[in-house]
Amino acid sequence: MKNNTLHNLNLVPFVSVDDMMKIVLEIGVENVLTGIAEYLDADFRRWESFDKTPRVASHSEAGVIELMPTSDGDVYGFKYVNGHPDNMKTGRQTVTAFGVLSEVETGYPVLLTEMTILTALRTAATSAMVAKYLAPKGARSMALIGNGAQSEFQALAFKSILGITDLRLYDIDPASTKKFMHNMADQGFAITACTTEQQAVEGADIITTATADKQYATILTDNMIGAGVHINAIGGDCPGKTELHRDILLRSDIFVEYTPQTRIEGEIQQMDADHPVTELWQVMTGQAPGRTDDRQITLFDGVGFAIEDFSALRYLRDQLERTGHFEDLDMIADPDDPRDLYGMVMRAKANQQE
């Protein structure tokens, strides 16, 4: 345990990538996923108490950089996240992130953390939590199309939260599938590596698409989708970046996080602006139906919303005392007299010269 304190408002706990890995390993990946899912569930149920806005996105040829803020009135949180599908070619991640939690009363930050790993965990926990409400009862098998950075987290979340035991993998790059099979070899899954998307979806109760391409892609076509499946589509999350053929959307009941953002970024950007969708919090609070029959196709058009990051940040903050894996960051200027910021800087100069 490092030397640190959680109770000095001028020192901000900072969770580095190294700390995050230690926390995840100490608590266990599946325990973290189920823990975050509980925080997500609680926050989705009090959806109406949050500030909500579509994320602020800065697009370029290469990708996107986004800010994702929200507040429940007591705590404020935001995430900085990018999406650059070509990064992999130069040995970089497609998605990286960091985030902050602050106390609304003072505006002082109370947590600064890496969120690349935390985003993969929260995205997977969200997908599995949503599937609990929408997937066919007794679902055991899942097709996983796109076997990159998110994929193992998705698989483990669906195992621990839903009881998925059988995985059918497909990726255009066989090296991704190979990496997945190596990482998940001793996790108790029955894994089938497939050579086409069509083969991967055969017999699957749930279909997860987690591919990365900065263009309209058609990972799934209508003829591949049988009655009764739940589709967890998380890779289409930017204007001009989708994964599903429009005809699938016409046959599905579509569930979203926050409609104004999903209309811009999700699969439904292909549809008319008034195409019917249901927000998940309404299903979770009993205000709207989720799955109503065995033959219904349910689609989670997941783009990732700020409240999910807020839940993940809250979860992480609650693990700090117990694990001690963080360091104190000297991030808030703290002059003896709050008005004398300049004097503090000049005294530092005098101290340097001594």
Ligand X SMILES: NC(=O)c1ccc[n+]([C@@H]2O[C@H](COP(=O)([O-])OP(=O)(O)OC[C@H]3O[C@@H](n4cnc5c(N)ncnc54)[C@H](O)[C@@H]3O)[C@@H](O)[C@H]2O)c1
Active site (catalytic) residues: 237
For ligand X, which stretch binds (CB under 6 A), given 99-107, 207-215, 286-294, 336-344?
Answer: 207-215
Q: How far apart are CA 303 and CA 265, in angstroms?
A: 7
Q: How far apart are CA 45 and CA 285, in angstroms?
A: 6
Residue 211 contacts ligand X per CB under 6 A: yes
Q: CB nearest ligand X: which residue?
A: 148
- Asked if 205 and 182 touch (Cβ cutoff 8 Å), the reply is no
Residues 235-294 that bind ligand X (CB under 6 A): 235, 237
- Asked if 211 and 235 touch (Cβ cutoff 8 Å), the reply is yes
Q: Which amino acid is at 162?
A: L
Q: List the one residue from 70, 102, 113, 150 that touches ligand X (CB under 6 A).
A: 150
Q: How far apart are CA 53 and CA 55, in angstroms?
A: 6
Residue 95 contacts ligand X per CB under 6 A: yes
| Minimum CB–partner distance for residue 261 and ligand X (Å) | 11
Residue 154 contacts ligand X per CB under 6 A: no
Dihedral Cα 341, 113, 263, 300, nearest 10 deg: -160
User: In terms of CB distance, is 13 or 148 closer to ligand X?
Assistant: 148
Please tell me the number of Cα atoms within 13 Å of 57 on its side-chain side. 20
Q: List the one residue from 65, 67, 181, 217 that touches ligand X (CB under 6 A).
A: 217
Please tell me the number of Cα atoms within 13 Å of 71 on its side-chain side. 10
For ligand X, which stretch binds (CB under 6 A), given 209-217, 274-282, 334-342, 345-353?
Answer: 209-217
Residue 70 contacts ligand X per CB under 6 A: no
CA–CA distance from 245 to each of 172, 225, 252, 262 (Å)?
18, 11, 12, 16
- Asked if 200 and 178 touch (Cβ cutoff 8 Å), the reply is no
Q: Using alpha carbons, select from 353, 92, 129, 350 the residue that is nearest to residue 257.
A: 129
Instruction: Find the distance separating the first CA and the last CA of the chain, reported in whole Å.
Output: 34
| Minimum CB–partner distance for residue 348 and ligand X (Å) | 41
Residues that contact ligand X, how many (by CB under 6 A): 30
- Asked if 63 and 81 touch (Cβ cutoff 8 Å), the reply is no
| Minimum CB–partner distance for residue 99 and ligand X (Å) | 13
User: In terms of CB distance, is 198 or 323 closer to ligand X?
Assistant: 198
For ligand X, which stretch binds (CB under 6 A), given 9-17, 36-44, 147-155, 329-337?
Answer: 147-155
| Minimum CB–partner distance for residue 211 and ligand X (Å) | 4
Residue 36 contacts ligand X per CB under 6 A: no
| Minimum CB–partner distance for residue 97 and ligand X (Å) | 9
Residue 123 contacts ligand X per CB under 6 A: yes
Residues binding ligand X (CB under 6 A): 83, 88, 94-95, 119, 123, 145-151, 170-173, 176, 210-213, 217, 219, 234-235, 237, 302-304
